[in-house]
Amino acid sequence: MAYQAVFKRYEMKYMMTRRQRRAVAEAMLPYMKLDDYGHTTIRNIYFDTDSYILVRRSIEKPVYKEKMRIRSYRQVSAQDKVFIELKKKYDDVVYKRRESLSQLETLEWLVRRAPFPKATQIGNEIDYFFNRYHTLDPKVFLSYEREAFYALDGSDLRVTFDERILARQEELSLSKEVWGEPLIDEDIVLMEIKTSGGIPLWMTHVLAQEKIYKTSFSKYGTAYEKMICRQQAEMTGKVSIA
């Protein structure tokens, strides 16, 4: 199956209750349709340096930030395809570039630290990213249940709803079952509007009616603050001076 390799768009995030999500979904009915994947369980493995420089920079909300992850849209075996993604944000515009390999090829590439096995421009960018940061390793497994919708008018507008966002630092594999520490409350849904243009009027109306406001939320950033910073604080608390 062909896949989109390059993205350039705005990505706006909104936190809402399940009741508000139903109101938005009802407003979407004449304009949007569930995509071919339907309901998916997305699995991600985020990479960072030993000092977590990528996520720490992201939390500071700079004009430019970047991250790297491996993603699958289901539980995968060795020969199943996964995505290696570079995601960058500059001046509120999100740029995403990705390549696809089997999970086995991906793991062999990561373990050997050999050049990216595809001789493509994006492959070269992935290699450059690894060489630039030197100590990149898998740090966090992050999963969530997603429903994604596309616009019926042919525009590039997409809307996604993410629930049950979980993170962990063990079993960093896309082949494993989904489990981890919840990053949002059970009754909360994260909606993302993704488009290269503006938000349609019908969407702005329902957001205003339901009092749903744009927010800043990073899944990996929240995982870092809830899990890794807490662990570091606990370790610091155990240090004693004789």
Distance of CA 165 to the CA centre of its chain: 11
Q: Is the pLDDT of residue 237 over 80?
A: no
* Segment 94-123, tens digit of pLDDT: 999 999 999 999 988 888 888 888 889 999
Would you say residue 221 has pLDDT above 80? Answer: yes
End-to-end CA distance of the chain: give it in Å, rounded. 63
pLDDT per residue over 38-90, tens digit each?
799 999 999 999 999 999 999 998 999 999 999 999 999 999 999 999 999 99
Q: List, for residues 20-50, the tens digit of each pLDDT value.
A: 999 999 999 999 999 987 799 999 999 999 9
Residue 68 is encoded by which pair of tokens? 């790297």
Hey, where are the domains in the chain?
6-235
Q: Which residues pair with 46 in a beta bridge?
A: 69, 140
Task: Write down the pLDDT at residue 37.
Answer: 78
The answer to whether the CB of 68 falls within 8 A of the CB of 95 is: no
Q: What is the CATH number of domain 6-235?
A: 3.20.100.30
Nearest Cα to 217, choosing from 58, 8, 68?
A: 58
pLDDT at 173: 94
Q: Tokens representing 50?
A: 């030993």
Return the pLDDT at 79. 95
Task: Identify the residue with better confidence: 116 or 145.
Answer: 145
Specify the pLDDT at position 110. Answer: 85
Q: Kindly report, residue by residue over 169-198, the tens digit of the pLDDT.
A: 999 999 999 999 999 999 999 999 999 999
Question: CB–CB of 140/147 below 8 Å?
Answer: no
Which of the four pLDDT bands, split at 50, 70 and 90, describes residue 227? Answer: very high
pLDDT of res. 238: 56
